[in-house]
Structure 1
């Protein structure tokens, strides 16, 4: 059954007492996700656990995530988080001395930087693209590529300043040249449309605790079938090899082993069963609405908030309609502060006032960061704008000028 935005919102008890605008940090816990966890815990407590059922449920969750991004379940691996997914792939590439990887360090999360810096031990060059006030274009990446480029690594949506990158031209460019396009989708999958086929994505990594609306401690790795067969995992365990006699984890096959031609080749040891079952419930919620419906709803709200903030005199660093607009809206001066701070006193005061008024949001790299999902509505946006307007008025009264926040 398709869920309306109102029904979707009602699944999140956090809205009983707060206005949640912080999906870029983590998802609030929904009732369906909590109930899935409770059922798993009840089974474990009352029966000692039915592992065969848990394993079957893993495959249901795998299939749901594959549907979300338009992939085959065979191309999906379970991971702990984005960082593990990136490291699995980076260490499985057959690098040659003099190869290079292209990244834009200005807008990447550190975990999509260190993983590639680590490959310098194998004489791999890390080529750095520079942004312009947090904005980077497909052409910026393309211009950095040469005949030794093996990987282009990007974020679909940057965690700061919060801009959507058009992956289609980059994906086409890389596919034509045999370059692996690696995408960190931590900030997009689940709230923005992600289609690995249409976007020509080769590798995609995501954690479950952000826009997918699941818990911490789990993630997914998508690897396109053609690349998957070429990548040799650094770690190997029973679940990542084929044994003809049995699928059971304790059955040892011959010393000559075969890797499966699917995502299981990157899975080692036991799984985070509780998180996988809970994430399956979250994915069911998302699929019941549809990615395009979610994106359209969120972009309407993001545009409303962007226009409102600018009308009140704030500098907005995130995208605009047709130019990088996404679920994340950031206000302030790009780079005017540390990871959790701002050097702008008026912006810090606005952030503190929003928190005091019952909003949940973040301060990142000198910017106040609002981030939205399908559970947000126009009332949330308008309430935030009222606080900004009141704070603007307060600043004007106290200074006797028309000074505006963040301007």
Structure 2
């Protein structure tokens, strides 16, 4: 049996991009692995050569639903497939029974697509409140408590933030929401596949995530968890697939508008079958290492990065403490100078509001971090040299 180091090395071999680039941008999107590409190619071949064995594809989609459910400690009937995180969050915002005068609490500066999903409800008289939080702080129950009153119906936040890498304390927030009868809606885009998630233990009501980051699948597929028993959450849109009794003759029955009890009531017709086949292959790859070991690995990479940054005198925007950070690190380097510099040196990163965002995946190594430090040191020397020349 392989140890964790060997498993990570085998996973890295699945990503040929690592031979061409120093890829440190998985919070934007992950590159295709060889096995995910093979799954997509298999789907295309079946459609090309056999006209599309749709019953087979649908069976595989249900198998993938079961595998996704296990990722979250959920039941398959609590999982629906969407287009992306934003669609899932909008489904949640329009499903929760909110009335004029009710309020929703978010974190100021969290991902805008979550904010817009709820801000859109202001036209219905719903109040949107923003809790404040610094980039080096994590959200806990105490972050939200001052903003909650008897008309608070929803607390919503990202599990891991895209802009500073905080890993928020969902356990305390979930307990607060459960105690107060508040729905907890979580954006897990940056955590799924990297940080273990137990929706039951965390008392999550609704969770939305896309698959093109930690789940290793191209854009166009999302997953939505809706806790069983929340029958009052009703879909804003209906399709035949949403109905409890879909008509076998494909003729709508106005007298029977009962929707499904499970999360399938939020699915609208055909799902993204090629990406679902790819997701099954991606889960195989993720499980070959294990999410807990992936989290330990990227945290260790972060330890190495922070040590280098301290040596280089480069400030970290987000939290430094283990447990409060995971795989996303924002370096306080001016984007206008450093984004182009990294691109010229074959280092894939993203500009972020606080500087340059570095993000890890299971295929990154300690040697990658050492190489990044060399690139940063070279850039700092060039910057100093340029400043000296300019001063002369």
Match of 2:22 among 19, 24, 27: 19
For residue 192 of structure 1, report the CA deviation from its aligned partner: 1.4
TM-score by length of 1: 0.90
Consecutive unaligned residues in structure 2, runs of 5 or more:
none
SS in 2 for 1:4: helix
Alignment of 1:119 with 2:108, yes or no, is: no
1:97 paired residue number = 100
Alignment of 1:391 with 2:379, yes or no, is: yes
2:351 paired residue number = 363
**Cα separation, partners in 2 of 1:133 and 1:297, compared to 1, 3 Å:** closer
1:374 paired residue number = 362
Which contiguous aligned blocks of 4+ residues in structure 1 show a shift greater than 4 angstroms?
251-254
1:282 paired residue number = 282
Alignment of 1:56 with 2:44, yes or no, is: no
1:353 paired residue number = 341
1:215-234 superposed matches below 5 A:
215-227=218-230, 229-234=231-236
Deviation digits for residues 358-404 of structure 1 (CA, Å, limit 9, x no counterpart): 11111111411000011000010000011111222233334359xxx
SS in 2 for 1:35: helix
CA contact (8 A) 1:102 1:141 kept: yes
- How big is the alpha-carbon RMSD for the aligned residues of Structure 1 and Structure 2? 1.9
CA contact (8 A) 2:214 2:361 kept: yes
Aligned-partner Cα distance in 2 for 1:63–1:305: 37
Aligned-partner Cα distance in 2 for 1:16–1:8: 14
Aligned-partner Cα distance in 1 for 2:298–2:322: 14
Q: Which moved more, 1:386-395 or 1:287-296?
A: 386-395
Aligned-partner Cα distance in 1 for 2:77–2:70: 12
**Cα separation, partners in 2 of 1:18 and 1:253, compared to 1, 3 Å:** same
CA contact (8 A) 1:328 1:372 kept: yes
CA contact (8 A) 2:105 2:130 kept: yes
Aligned-partner Cα distance in 1 for 2:269–2:135: 43
1:141 paired residue number = 144
1:29-68 superposed matches below 5 A:
29-68=32-71
Match of 2:203 among 186, 191, 200: 200
Deviation digits for residues 47-77 of structure 1 (CA, Å, limit 9, x no counterpart): 1111111110111111111111211111100
CA contact (8 A) 1:180 1:202 kept: yes
Aligned-partner Cα distance in 2 for 1:129–1:254: 44
Match of 2:164 among 158, 161, 178: 161
Alignment of 1:83 with 2:86, yes or no, is: yes
SS in 2 for 1:103: strand
CA contact (8 A) 2:299 2:322 kept: no
TM-score by length of 2: 0.93
2:72 paired residue number = 69
Consecutive unaligned residues in structure 1, runs of 5 or more:
334-343, 402-407
1:329 paired residue number = 329
Paired residues in the alignment total: 385
Aligned-partner Cα distance in 2 for 1:163–1:69: 20
1:241 paired residue number = 243
